[in-house]
């Protein structure tokens, strides 16, 4: 029997509606309209689309969005100066620096400069540390979106063998941490794989839940998946055939129990969780 499709687009719409309702309540009770400042450096077409989608989603949820568009020749000092101004602007609650940045700019230095209370991507070491210690201020948007997709479809996590394929700071590493935490939504037995993992198919076949974030088009084949497993595809790869994930969807859906598609899976959830973090940031700054 083919797998159940985990519809990230539909869930994202639901979460966005929930956030919109919470924003309304927050504003009605005297809170400032939450505001996200997006910083886009250069003219990478993919980044432009991402930022536009994020801005539209903000507006639909009643969140203000401001775009700072800088040229590809921007220096690190100029960008740091803008980040500093946004950090100090009381009308801005969340700051999003769209990656990648042009090569003359050290990404880590810029991300570290975003004040932790406005760090809606959860990239700042202080926020990553809080997440690791299971007392999060924000959760990183993509892993948080995957987590919601699993939880709201009642995918068993506690005690499950979860394999995370990929160990980036943005997706794989925080994903593994969220699922291994003690308590509700966690308690999984997590294995993290990467390009140096030996006998990869053997490891992935042990997964009850397989989460793939490697950036290799259709890399995960049916032979790498345990029958009945839940497969989450984080990958976004632009190919001649269009947008595809890291999983060979057509073949794997015949083996898996549940599978998330690309597009319409994790991508929309990432944006929904960014809205949630922007509201959280506005709340935090109201309290401080
Ligand atoms: P990175 O390139 O930062 O990390 C890729 C990871 O995959 C690395 O840990 C790497 O291993 C591992 N890897 C690469 N090739 C292999 C291989 N052949 N076998 C095993 N492991 C391998 O990628 P990101 O985590 O940033 O992104 C991953 C994918 O997710 C991309 O397609 C990206 O576009 C997508 N993405 C989607 C988002 C969404 O909203 N849906 C958000 C963010 C990313 P090693 O560490 O050894 O190099």
Domains 30-115 and 141-267 share a fold: yes
pLDDT at 107 over 70: yes
Distance from C-alpha of 65 to C-alpha of 54, rounded to nearest angstrom: 9
Name the fold adopted by 30-115: Rossmann fold (3.40.50)
Q: Label residue 1 by pLDDT band (50, 70, 90).
A: confident
SS3 call for 180: helix
> Domain boundaries in the chain?
30-115, 141-267
Predicted confidence at residue 96, as pLDDT, reads 98
**For ligand 1, atom 30, which residue shows the shortest CA distance?**
235
Q: Give the atom of ligand 1 at the shortest distance from the alpha carbon of 165.
A: 21
How many CB atoms lie under 10 A from the CB of residue 52? 13
Which residues, judged by CB distance below 6 Å to any ligand atom, belong to the binding site of ligand 1? Answer: 142, 165-168, 170-172, 193-197, 213-216, 234-237, 266-267, 270
| 3-state helix/strand/coil string of 3-67 | CEECCHHHHHHHHHHHHHHHHHHHHHCCCCCCEEEEEEECCCHHHHHHHHHHHHHHHHCCCEEEE
Task: Name beta bridge partners: 182.
Answer: none
Decide if pLDDT at 287 tops 80. no
Check: CB of residue 230 under 8 Å from CB of residue 265: no
pLDDT-based confidence at residue 288 (cuts at 50, 70, 90): low
Share of the chain above pLDDT 90, in %: 98
Q: What is the pLDDT of residues 240-263, one digit of tens each?
A: 989 999 999 999 999 999 999 999
What digits encode the pLDDT tens for the residues 39-72? 999 999 989 999 999 999 999 999 999 999 999 9
End-to-end CA distance of the chain, in Å?
53
Rounded distance from Cα 283 to ligand 1 centre (Å): 32
Q: What is the average per-residue pLDDT within 139-162?
A: 98
Output the CA 172–ligand 1 centroid distance in Å: 7
The CATH class given to the 141-267 domain equals alpha beta
What is the arithmetic mean of pLDDT over 86-102? Answer: 97
The label of the residue with tokens 């809170």 reads 31
For ligand 1, atom 35: residue with the closest CA: 235
Q: Is the pLDDT of residue 137 over 70?
A: yes
> Does the pLDDT of residue 4 top 90, yes or no?
yes
3-class DSSP state of 181: coil
């Amino acid at each position: 029997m083919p797998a159940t499709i985990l519809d990230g687009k539909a869930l994202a719409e639901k979460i966005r509606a929930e956030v919109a309702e919470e924003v309304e309540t927050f504003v009605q009770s005297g809170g400032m309209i939450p505001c996200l400042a997006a910083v886009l450096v250069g003219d990478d077409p993919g980044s432009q689309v991402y930022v536009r989608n994020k801005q539209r989603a903000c507006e639909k949820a009643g969140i203000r969005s401001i775009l700072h568009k800088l040229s590809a020749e921007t220096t690190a000092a100029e960008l740091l100066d803008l980040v500093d101004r946004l950090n100090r602007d009381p009308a801005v609650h969340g700051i999003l620096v769209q990656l990648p940045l042009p090569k003359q700019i050290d990404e880590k230095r810029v991300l570290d400069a975003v004040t932790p209370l406005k760090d809606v991507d959860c990239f700042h070491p202080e926020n990553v540390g809080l997440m690791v210690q299971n007392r999060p201020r924000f959760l990183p948007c993509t892993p948080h979106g995957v987590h919601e997709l699993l939880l709201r479809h009642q995918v068993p996590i506690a005690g499950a063998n979860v394999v995370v394929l990929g160990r980036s700071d943005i997706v794989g590493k925080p994903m593994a941490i969220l699922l291994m935490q003690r308590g509700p939504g966690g308690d999984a037995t997590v294995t993290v794989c990467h390009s140096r993992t030996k006998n990869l198919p053997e490891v992935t076949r042990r997964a009850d839940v397989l989460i793939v974030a490697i950036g290799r088009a259709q890399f995960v084949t049916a032979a790498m998946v345990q029958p009945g497993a839940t497969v989450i595809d984080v990958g976004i790869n632009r190919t001649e055939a269009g947008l595809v994930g890291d999983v060979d969807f057509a073949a794997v859906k015949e083996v898996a129990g549940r599978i998330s598609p690309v597009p319409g899976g994790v991508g929309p959830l990432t944006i929904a969780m960014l809205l949630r973090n922007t509201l959280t940031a506005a709340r935090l700054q109201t309290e401080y």
